[in-house]
Amino acid sequence: MTTRSTHSSTAPIKRPRTIQIDSNGRLRHFIAIEGLPKTILTEMLDIAESFVSVTAQDVKKVPLLRGRTICNLFFEPSTRTRTTFELAAKRLSADVLNINISASSSSKGETLLDMLRNLEAMHTDMFVVRHSSSGAAQFIASKVEPHISVINAGDGSHEHPTQAMLDMFTIRQHKPDFSALRVAIVGDLRHSRVARSQIHALNTLGVGELRVVAPRTLIPAGMERLGVQIYQNLEEGIRDVDVIIMLRLQRERMHGAFIPSEQEYFQLYGLTEARIALARPDVMVMHPGPINRGVEMDSAVADGKHSVILQQVSNGIAIRMAAMSMAMRSRADAKAEA
């Protein structure tokens, strides 16, 4: 008799076997942090470390992906993320194709699968996918030809794994022992794909304590089952923490039914120098950007001595180079075995 596994309502929800890993245990696609073992995350951080020196050289290129074609498939506009992926690919010597779909194929009624088939026929090796629907990158990964890798550049409110990994990379540069860390993630957890990826990454890397801080309207149901402690009070939430990760509040949601106003949000959840004093003296302040100054944090904090926000941006390229080279290496291994 075939049976389906079910979980009791209090047990953590386990992720099923991931399509991200190949038969050799290597990263095949990079869709989500959840489901990946610590070894892969650590390896990605180590490889990124080696790429940091590349970006500091006069000639900022390595020939790892020479002759490969990487397609940035963006169903949702994003200049910043697309640019860092493009730069990362070019520094690996790959050819890059940028396709902005909202403006082209989808409006002509082509289906997603038809478009993929067409791009595959152009001998693409990798898709970097940004999409407004959760699960889009997973769907594309499940449909592409076996020699193609997919990297998720943000899907709906699901995950944004490279962003989370560059955050982990930045944390590790300052505080290498994750088990000794107390981290607080503050803000719009309901809609944030970055936060979900950060939570999985921090838990997998063995963070000492992980807190999320927000009003109840911005914390989705059952969030504690992702392995976090929930705080509604910012002062309590950031007391004695080593890292504060602020999330971006999307202005279009500000006057909806989630929070009454930017002013009240800043009053209750805005990061100020006075509040930072509650955290550890060497606390790191992070933000995935772009910052709403005076809403999520004071300018003095954003530009202050605790802020590592610009460092996060620089690290983004090294992490994306690492993710791309790891996924492509899995492809090369598969070809060699065949």
Partner 1 sequence: MSPIHIQGGRLIDPANGIDAVTDLYLAEGVVAGVGKAPKGFKAETVIDATNKIVCPGLIDLAVHLREPGQEHKGTIASETAAAVANGITSVVCPPDTDPIVDTEAVVELILHQAKQSARAMVLPLGALTLGLAGEQLSEMYALKGAGVIGLSNAKRPLTNSLVLRRALEYAATHDMTVFIHANDPTLSGHGCVHEGPLATRLGLPGIPEAAETVAVARDLELIEQTGVRAHFCRLSTSRALNMIARARHDGLAVTCDVAVHHLYLTEVDIRDFDSACHLIPPLRSERDRDGLRDGLNRGTLDAICSDHQPHEPDAKQAPFAETAPGLSGLDTLLPLVVRLANEGVLSLSEALAKVTVSPADILGLKSGRLNTGAPADVCILDPQASWFVSAESMYSRGLNTPFKGWEMPARATQTLVGGRLVFDTRKE
Stretch that binds partner 1, among 2-10, 77-85, 161-169, 265-273 (CB under 8 A): 2-10
Residue 15 as a binder of partner 1 (CB under 8 A): the answer is yes
Residue with tokens 């309901």: 190
Among 49, 83, 156, 254, binds partner 1 (CB under 8 A): 156
Q: Given the complex with partner 1, which of 83 and 203 has the nearer CB atom?
A: 203
> Which is nearest to 48 in space by CA: 141, 164, 131, 130?
164
Q: Does 162 bind partner 1 (CB under 8 A)?
A: no
Q: Which of positions 59-78 make contact with partner 1 (CB under 8 A)?
A: none
Q: Does 155 bind partner 1 (CB under 8 A)?
A: yes
Q: Applying CB under 8 A, does 277 fall inside the site for partner 1?
A: no
DSSP states along 178-189: GGG-EEEEES-T
Nearest CB to partner 1, comparing residues 1 and 56 = 1
Residue 234 touching partner 1 (CB under 8 A): no
How many H-runs (helices) and E-runs (strands) does the chain carry?
12, 9
Would you say 310 and 216 are in contact if contact means Cβ atoms under 8 Å apart? no
Q: Does 6 bind partner 1 (CB under 8 A)?
A: yes
Q: What are phi and psi of 39, to 5 degrees?
A: -60, -40
Residue 118-137 contact track with partner 1, rule CB under 8 A, x = bound? -------------x-xxxx-
Residue 220 binds partner 1 (CB under 8 A): yes
Query: Does the footprint of partner 1 cover residue 108 (CB under 8 A)?
Result: no
Q: According to CB under 8 A, which one of 22, 125, 159, 296 is a site residue for partner 1?
A: 159
Closest CA to 125 of 327, 336, 323, 307: 327
CB of 317 to partner 1, least distance (A): 25
- Burial class from Cβ neighbours inside 10 Å (0-12, 13-18, 19+) for residue 120 reads middle
How far apart (Å, rounded) are the C-alpha atoms in residues 25 and 17? 12
Strands of 187-287, DSSP E: 209-213, 229-231, 243-246, 284-286
Interacting residue ranges for partner 1, rule: CB under 8 A: 1-2, 4-9, 13, 15-16, 18-19, 34, 111-113, 131, 133-136, 138-139, 143, 155-159, 193, 196, 220-223, 225-226
